Amino acid sequence: TFVSTRSPILFEKGSGRLYTTGFYADEGGPLKIDSARTNIAEFSLKTGIVEYKVKYPKFYWGVNWGGAGGFRQSLADINGRTIVISFMADHWLTTYDTYNGSEKKFYAGSKYFNEIRSMDYPSNFLSFANEYKVYEYYCREGSYCSIKYDPYRKVYYRVAELPLKQINWNQSRTPQKQKSIIFLDSAFVKIGEVLFPTEKYDLNHL
């Protein structure tokens, strides 16, 4: 299990429950493993019991998304009692209401790319694929990363990463995908999308 500083932690004082978001790093192989992967751990400080919530979407099951260098990462933010999850290979956002345990999906896709394809390798091929092949795959496919809620303007910002048509390995830094920011209102209705120039912004800035 992996929890990073990219992922929020929510504590509900009334119920005494702690929520962490992250991902399991053992994807690939039998569908039984992938279908059980979850994104949220709910820990009760009163009972000591840990429960797991929000499964990865079905299209993540039994295929190869490139592991750590690909699209297995999920990023999240918190709005009140709601956890909002941005899966890297999903055009839709997933929300989880910690009060009633309900899940919802909201379309938040980029207008600059449609299909996001998994790697053309068996799901268990990851241990044999070199970093160059995985990063080349990452560059050629569109994807998503950060989701952030702005409580002052009451809007969400979702970062999209556009696919590269040409990959130049001879430059001074590794190839960078152009980024855009998708704007959604507090009800997850898309407001617009703005491109960022590649020479000013890269993944490390986001």
Cα 117 off chain centre by? 15
* Cα angle value 104/110/114 (rounded, 5°): 95
Give 180-187 contacts, CB < 8 A, sequence gap 24+: 180/110, 180/112, 181/157, 182/108, 182/109, 182/110, 182/157, 182/158, 183/155, 183/156, 183/157, 184/106, 184/108, 184/155, 184/156, 184/158, 185/154, 185/155, 185/156, 186/79, 186/154, 186/155, 186/156
Q: Which residue has the higher pLDDT, 199 or 53?
A: 53
Q: What is the pLDDT of residue 71?
A: 82
pLDDT tier for residue 147 given thresholds of 50, 70 and 90: very high
> What does the pLDDT look like over 64-115, one tens digit per residue?
887 766 788 888 999 999 999 999 999 999 999 999 999 999 999 999 999 9
Which DSSP category does 117 fall into? P
CA–CA separation, 92 and 104 (whole Å) = 10
Q: Is the dihedral of CA 68, 26, 115, 155 positive or negative?
A: negative
Q: What is the pLDDT of residue 66?
A: 77
What's the Cα-to-Cα distance from 23 to each of 53, 69, 182, 200, rounded to whole Å?
11, 14, 23, 30
Q: Which residue has the higher pLDDT, 172 or 34?
A: 34
Q: What is the pLDDT of residue 203?
A: 57
> What does the pLDDT look like over 2-59, one tens digit per residue?
556 567 889 988 889 999 988 766 666 667 778 888 999 999 999 999 999 999 999 8
**Which of 181, 172, 160 has the alpha carbon at shortest distance from 199?**
172
CA–CA separation, 198 and 108 (whole Å) = 22
pLDDT tier for residue 133 given thresholds of 50, 70 and 90: confident
pLDDT tier for residue 154 given thresholds of 50, 70 and 90: very high
Residue whose token pair is 């999240």: 76
* Cα angle value 18/21/24 (rounded, 5°): 125
Asked whether residue 171 carries a pLDDT value surpassing 90, the answer given is: no
pLDDT tier for residue 190 given thresholds of 50, 70 and 90: very high
Q: What is the pLDDT of residue 200?
A: 65
Three-state DSSP at 180 gives strand
Residue 23's DSSP bridge partners are 2
Q: What is the pLDDT of residue 27?
A: 64
